[in-house]
C-alpha cells in the first residue's frame, strides 16, 4: 500500500511537471484571457497570456500559450513581438517533431498518458496551427515594411504544406502504434474499449450531438489540411513579380479546393489569360478582372469571429471519463462590403478555419478515443484490484474498514484529478477569412460596411497596392491593419 501511495505521488508530480493542463483543462485556464479579448481588452488579454506562458516555459504547455501571445501581439500591431513569438513556436514544433519517436523523455510521457491523460504529452499543434503560423508571419513581415521577408515566407509556405502532410502521416502512424501497443499490453481492456455500447447510453446524447456537429463542419474542409488563404498569399506574391504562370498553378490549386467560388474562378481565369493558357470549357463564361491585380490594387482580407475551440465533455462507458469536443462559435460579423473610388466589392469566403480543424479532429478522433478509453479502464481496473487485495488482507475489524475507506477515497481522488480532457488548441484565430479586391481609389480612401459601425480607412499616399487585414474576431474592437505594397 505504501508503494501505491508513493506511485500515486510520483505520477502527480511528473504530470504537473509535464503541463498544468493535466489537472485543469486548457480551455478553463484560457477563459479569463478569452473574456478580456471578447470584451475588447486585448492588452489585458495579452498580459494574461504572457503570464501563463512564463509559468509554462520549458514545459509541455508552452506552445499553447505562445500561439495566443503571437495572435494578440499581431492584433495590437506589435509585429516585431509577434514574429519573435511565432519563430519560437516554430522552434518548439520542430524540437518536438525531431525527437525520436521513442526517446527517454517521450517514453516517460507516453507512460504518463495511461496513468494521467493526454495532457502529459507536449502540445505539438494541430496541422491548422502550423499553416496559420506561416500566414501570420508573412503578414507580420509586411507590418514591418519588409516585403522581402513576406516573399521569403510565402515561398517557404509552398514547401511547408508538403512537410506538414509528411509530418502528420508520421504523427498519425505514431498514434496508431501507441494504440496498438496499449492494446497488446491490455488485451481484455482493449476488447471493452472497442465496444460501442456507450452509443446507446442516453447520458451520452450531448456528446453524440457534439460529434455529429463536428462531422458536419468537417465536410467544409479542403482535404490534406489545405488552407486556401496560404495559397492566395503565395499566388499574390508571384503575380506581383510578373510570374503569372507560377501564379496560375497556385490559383489552379485554389480552384480545385473551391470550385464553386465565383471570385476564385475569376482569379484563375485572369491568371490563365495572363499566362496565355487555354481556358477550360467549364470556365468559358467567367470574366477575368477588368483591372490590374499586380499593381494599383487593394486586397482586403476579412478575418471575422472566433474559431472553434475545445471543451470537455463526460462520456459514460459505463464509467465516466472526460473527452474533448469541438465547440463552434456563432458568426456575428460574417458580412463585409468594401467601397472606394466608385467600386464596391463584398468579401467572399476564402478559408473556413472551422472546417479545417474539424476535418483533422474527425480523422484523429477514433484512435485517440480508443486510447483514452483504455487509459480510463486501466485506472478503474487498478482501483478494483487494489480494493480486492485489501479484502484479502489479514487486517480485520475497524482498521481494515478505515484502510479500505481511505484507499477508496485516494483512488477516486486520483481518478477524478486526472480525468481531464486535452482541450489544448490555438483559440485566438478567426472563424473564417474572406477576400475582397478592388482598384486602388485615387482618393486613397475606403469605406467598410457591414461592421457594427462604418469604418473609414485612409491608405498611404506612397503605396501602389495594399493588403488591408480587417481583424474582426470580436465586435467589441475591430482592428483594420494596412500593409502597403509598392508598385514594381
| Beta partners for residue 467, in sequence order | 299, 483
Per-residue pLDDT of the chain (488 residues; tens, 9 = 90+): 444 444 445 444 444 444 566 678 899 999 999 999 999 999 999 999 999 999 999 988 999 999 999 999 999 999 999 999 999 999 999 888 776 344 434 444 544 444 546 777 888 889 899 999 999 999 999 999 999 999 999 999 888 877 777 777 777 777 777 777 767 777 766 666 667 777 888 988 988 999 999 999 999 999 877 899 999 999 999 999 999 999 999 999 999 999 999 999 999 999 999 999 999 999 999 999 999 999 999 999 999 999 999 999 888 876 778 889 999 999 999 899 999 999 999 999 999 999 999 999 998 887 777 777 777 777 666 766 776 776 777 666 667 676 666 666 665 555 555 578 889 999 999 999 999 999 999 999 999 999 998 789 999 998 899 999 999 999 999 999 999 998 87
Pairing state between β 343-346 and 348-352: unpaired
Number of neighbouring beta carbons within 10 Å of residue 124? 19
Query: Do the beta carbons of residue 248 and residue 277 sit within 8 Å?
Result: yes
Percent helix / strand / coil, the chain, rounded to 5: 60, 15, 25
Distance CA 140, CA 37 (A): 20
Contact predicate 332/246, CB 8 Å:
no
Residue 338 burial class via C-beta count within 10 angstroms: exposed 0-12, middle 13-18, buried 19 and up: buried
For the chain, what's the residue count? 488
Cα 481 → chain centroid: 23
The Cα–Cα gap between 61 and 59 comes to: 6
For the chain, the domains span 2-223+305-399+417-431
Residue 378 to residue 436: CA distance in whole angstroms: 54
| DSSP code, position 282 | G
CA distance 458 to 446: 6
403, 1 contact by CB (below 8 A): yes
383 CB-near residues (< 8 Å, 6+ apart): 408, 411, 412, 415
Amino acid at each position: 500500500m505504501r508503494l501505491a501511495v508513493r506511485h500515486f505521488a510520483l505520477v502527480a508530480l511528473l504530470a504537473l511537471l509535464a503541463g498544468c493542463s493535466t489537472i485543469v483543462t486548457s480551455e478553463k485556464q484560457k477563459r479569463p484571457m478569452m473574456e478580456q479579448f471578447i470584451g475588447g481588452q486585448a492588452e489585458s488579454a495579452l498580459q494574461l497570456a504572457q503570464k501563463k506562458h512564463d509559468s509554462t516555459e520549458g514545459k509541455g504547455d508552452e506552445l499553447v500559450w505562445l500561439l495566443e501571445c503571437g495572435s494578440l501581439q499581431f492584433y495590437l500591431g506589435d509585429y516585431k513581438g509577434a514574429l519573435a513569438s511565432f519563430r519560437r513556436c516554430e522552434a518548439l514544433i520542430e524540437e518536438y517533431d525531431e525527437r525520436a519517436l521513442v526517446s527517454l523523455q517521450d517514453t516517460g510521457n507516453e507512460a504518463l498518458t495511461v496513468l494521467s491523460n493526454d495532457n502529459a504529452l507536449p502540445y505539438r499543434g494541430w496541422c491548422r496551427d502550423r499553416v496559420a503560423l506561416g500566414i501570420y508571419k508573412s503578414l507580420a513581415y509586411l507590418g514591418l515594411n519588409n516585403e522581402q521577408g513576406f516573399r521569403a515566407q510565402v515561398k517557404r509556405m509552398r514547401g511547408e504544406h508538403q512537410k506538414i502532410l509528411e509530418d502528420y502521416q508520421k504523427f498519425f502512424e505514431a498514434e496508431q502504434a501507441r494504440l496498438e501497443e496499449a492494446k497488446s499490453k491490455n488485451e481484455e481492456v482493449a476488447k471493452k474499449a472497442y465496444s460501442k455500447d456507450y452509443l446507446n447510453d442516453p447520458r451520452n446524447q450531448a456528446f453524440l450531438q457534439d460529434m455529429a456537429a463536428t462531422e458536419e463542419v468537417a465536410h467544409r474542409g479542403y482535404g490534406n489540411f489545405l488552407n486556401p488563404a496560404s495559397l492566395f498569399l503565395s499566388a499574390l506574391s508571384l503575380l506581383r513579380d510578373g510570374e503569372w504562370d507560377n501564379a496560375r498553378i497556385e490559383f489552379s490549386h485554389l480552384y480545385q479546393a473551391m470550385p464553386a467560388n465565383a471570385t476564385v474562378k475569376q482569379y484563375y481565369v485572369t491568371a490563365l489569360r495572363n499566362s496565355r493558357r487555354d481556358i477550360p470549357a467549364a470556365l468559358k463564361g467567367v470574366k477575368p478582372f477588368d483591372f490590374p491585380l499586380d499593381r494599383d490594387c487593394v486586397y482586403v482580407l476579412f478575418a471575422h469571429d472566433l474559431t472553434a475551440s475545445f471543451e470537455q465533455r463526460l462520456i459514460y462507458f459505463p464509467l465516466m471519463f472526460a473527452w474533448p469536443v469541438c465547440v463552434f462559435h456563432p458568426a456575428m460579423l460574417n458580412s463585409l462590403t468594401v467601397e472606394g473610388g466608385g467600386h464596391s466589392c463584398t468579401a467572399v469566403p476564402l478559408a473556413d478555419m472551422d472546417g479545417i480543424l474539424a476535418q483533422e479532429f474527425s480523422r484523429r478522433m477514433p484512435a485517440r478515443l480508443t486510447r483514452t478509453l483504455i487509459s480510463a479502464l486501466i485506472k478503474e481496473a487498478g482501483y478494483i484490484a487494489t480494493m480486492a487485495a485489501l479484502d484479502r488482507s489479514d487486517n480485520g475489524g475497524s482498521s481494515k474498514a478505515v484502510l479500505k475507506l481511505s484507499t477508496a477515497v485516494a483512488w477516486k481522488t486520483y481518478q477524478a484529478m486526472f480525468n481531464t480532457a486535452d482541450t489544448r488548441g490555438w483559440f485566438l484565430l478567426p472563424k473564417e477569412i474572406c477576400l475582397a479586391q478592388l482598384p486602388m481609389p485615387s482618393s486613397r480612401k475606403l469605406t467598410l460596411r457591414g461592421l457594427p459601425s462604418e469604418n473609414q480607412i485612409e491608405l498611404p499616399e506612397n503605396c501602389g497596392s495594399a493588403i488591408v487585414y480587417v481583424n474582426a474576431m470580436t465586435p467589441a474592437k475591430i482592428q483594420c491593419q494596412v500593409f502597403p505594397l509598392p508598385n514594381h
